[in-house]
């Protein structure tokens, strides 16, 4: 993302906060993994969205109309000794020169300076609950003003930031769509590589390695821990152990995506380890593939958030009835949610900087209407767990999910993760060609 994009977002954000408001956004803290070792740093998405700044120990403050500057940053000082160990820091001069801050202060001075910036405001915008340690500090600054009694003004309202910022983040700009498309393309290559590498007898982690290789080769990281689930493991929704042997006759479910320039992809494919679906596997797979196609077709402006899910539910329920797993009339089966033991999650979620991205799914208690620029996943699945009561043996242990990332456009659905085989025939053809 270039500086122009961040500047545009700040203009929009400042006008939403409005005069009389002050918004406070903390950077993500560093998180210890174990002694002296940190998890790889990932900036807070809201903070990054409006700053483009990737250092910890920073706080961005937006004060629309403030004469001395509207975008202020508290950040770490330059420190040659620390920079020798940990790498460069922008420092106050750097954030003004390169990140568009109007004014900048050492983070160590925030207790002294910020209460004075909050004092004249009417509304303080801050997201409570995301960074609990920081919540205490914000409350502390407000408490300090209150304690000063009559001599200080105290902001009347503490307003959650989410609604403003997350409405902005929900509609993706041209540059954001380009980043999402790139993240999608890299993940498509990773899935292709894993599908080409599978054979009975190798281990799930070996396919995980193929995915990770492609992600790192393109300077991306996984946007969430990859799921590589063979056989029964595919029926465990959040399986991440990835340590089992892949057997002849297994289906392999891979759910993996990457993060490119802070934007995520999220793809799932399910394929036979030996290149050919068994009869029952093909039956289940085909139902899910048809459900996905029906759901993607509903990703159109003017449809509401739940239309794709409704389409998936209908296709899945009909499919399960046609192969005898469910018995009864289609409308009654749908109404009774008879599919839920086998399809227990929703058909998708918003996608953006966060894999499960921000944005309300309902407005005033009604499903939100889809608009151009929204991006979501479409990911129906069927999980016929071993040991399910009243389920014929031949179905048990089959887990299938098919997931793509879809942009709403005026012209209909635009699949950002196009290029992977989707129907059962396409999967078998791809795997035969890759061998």
Count the Cβ atoms, other than its own, within 10 Å of residue 148.
13
208 in contact with Mn ion (CB under 5 A): no
Helix (H) / strand (E) element for 32: namely strand 32-34
Closest of 26, 32, 84 to residue 51, by C-alpha: 26
290 in contact with ligand GLY (CB under 6 A): no
| 218 catalytic per annotation | no
Q: How many CA atoms lie within 13 A of 365 on its CB side?
A: 0
- CB 292, CB 378: distance < 8 Å: yes
| 238 catalytic per annotation | yes
Q: Which does 70 bind (CB under 5 to 8 A by kind): ligand GLY, Mn ion, none?
A: none
Q: Restricting to residues 235-274, which ones interact with ligand GLY according to CB under 6 A?
A: 255, 266
Distance, CA of 316 to CA of 312 (rounded, Å) = 6
404 in contact with ligand GLY (CB under 6 A): no
Distance, CA of 39 to CA of 225 (rounded, Å) = 13
| Binds Mn ion by CB under 5 A, chosen from 223, 377, 417, 422 | 377
| 360 catalytic per annotation | no
| 36 catalytic per annotation | yes
103 in contact with ligand GLY (CB under 6 A): no
| Binds ligand GLY by CB under 6 A, chosen from 205, 213, 224, 367 | 224
Report in angstroms how near the CB of residue 352 gets to ligand GLY at its nearest.
Answer: 13
Catalytic residue among 31, 216, 356, 366: 356
Report in angstroms how near the CB of residue 205 gets to Mn ion at its nearest.
Answer: 18
Q: Which does 224 bind (CB under 5 to 8 A by kind): Mn ion, ligand GLY, none?
A: ligand GLY
Report in angstroms how near the CB of residue 392 gets to ligand GLY at its nearest.
Answer: 28
255 in contact with Mn ion (CB under 5 A): yes
Strand partners, 268: 255, 403
Angle between helices 162-170 and 3-17 (to 10 degrees): 140
Number of amino acids touching ligand GLY (CB under 6 A):
7
Closest of 254, 256, 191 to residue 228, by C-alpha: 254
- CB 71, CB 100: distance < 8 Å: yes
367 in contact with ligand GLY (CB under 6 A): no
In sequence order, the 6+-apart residues with CB closer than 8 A to the CB of 153 are 119, 120, 145
379 in contact with ligand GLY (CB under 6 A): yes
Distance, CA of 71 to CA of 86 (rounded, Å) = 27
| 167 catalytic per annotation | no
Catalytic residues: 36, 238, 255, 266, 345, 349, 356, 379, 383, 401, 403
Q: Which residues bind Mn ion (CB under 5 A)?
A: 255, 266, 377, 403
Q: Which residues bind ligand GLY (CB under 6 A)?
A: 224, 255, 266, 349, 355, 379, 403
């Amino acid at each position: 993302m270039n500086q122009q994009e961040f500047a545009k977002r700040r203009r929009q954000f400042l006008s939403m906060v409005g005069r009389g408001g002050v918004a406070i956004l903390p950077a993500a803290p560093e998180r210890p993994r174990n002694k002296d070792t940190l998890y790889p740093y990932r900036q807070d998405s809201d903070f990054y969205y409006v700053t483009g700044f990737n250092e910890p120990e920073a706080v961005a403050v937006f004060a629309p109309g403030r004469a001395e500057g509207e975008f202020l940053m508290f950040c770490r000082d330059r420190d040659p000794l620390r920079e020798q160990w940990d790498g460069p820091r922008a420092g106050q001069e750097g954030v003004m020169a390169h990140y568009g801050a109007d004014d900048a202060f050492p983070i160590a001075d925030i207790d002294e300076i910020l209460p004075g910036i909050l004092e004249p405001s009417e509304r303080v915008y801050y997201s409570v609950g995301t960074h609990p340690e920081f919540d205490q500090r914000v409350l502390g600054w407000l408490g300090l003003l209150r304690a000063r009694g009559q001599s200080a003004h105290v902001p009347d309202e503490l307003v959650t930031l989410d609604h403003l910022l997350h409405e902005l983040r929900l509609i993706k700009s041209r540059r954001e769509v380009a980043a999402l498309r790139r993240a999608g393309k890299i993940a498509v290559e990773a899935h292709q590589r894993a599908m080409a590498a599978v054979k009975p007898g190798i281990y799930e982690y070996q396919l995980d390695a193929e995915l990770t290789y492609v992600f790192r080769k393109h300077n991306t990281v996984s946007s969430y821990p990859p799921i590589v689930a063979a056989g029964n493991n595919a029926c465990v929704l959040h399986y991440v152990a990835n340590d089992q042997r892949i057997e002849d006759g297994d289906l392999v479910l891979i759910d993996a995506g990457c993060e490119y320039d802070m934007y995520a992809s999220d793809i799932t494919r399910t394929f036979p380890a030996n290149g050919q679906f068994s009869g029952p596997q093909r039956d289940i797979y085909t139902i899910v593939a048809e459900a996905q196609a029906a759901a993607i077709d509903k990703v159109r402006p003017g449809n509401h958030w739940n239309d794709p899910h409704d389409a998936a539910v209908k296709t899945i329920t009909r499919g399960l009835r046609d192969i005898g797993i469910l018995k009864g009339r289609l409308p009654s089966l749908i109404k009774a949610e008879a599919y839920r033991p086998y399809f227990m999650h929703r058909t998708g979620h918003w996608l953006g900087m966060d894999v499960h991205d921000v944005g309300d799914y309902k407005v005033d208690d009604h499903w939100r209407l889809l608009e151009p620029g929204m991006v979501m996943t479409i990911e129906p699945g069927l999980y016929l767990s071993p040991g399910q009561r009243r389920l014929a043996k031949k179905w048990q242990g089959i887990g299938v999910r098919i997931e793509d990332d879809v942009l709403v456009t005026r012209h209909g659905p635009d699949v950002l993760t196009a290029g992977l085989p989707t129907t059962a025939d396409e999967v078998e053809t791809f795997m035969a060609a890759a061998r």
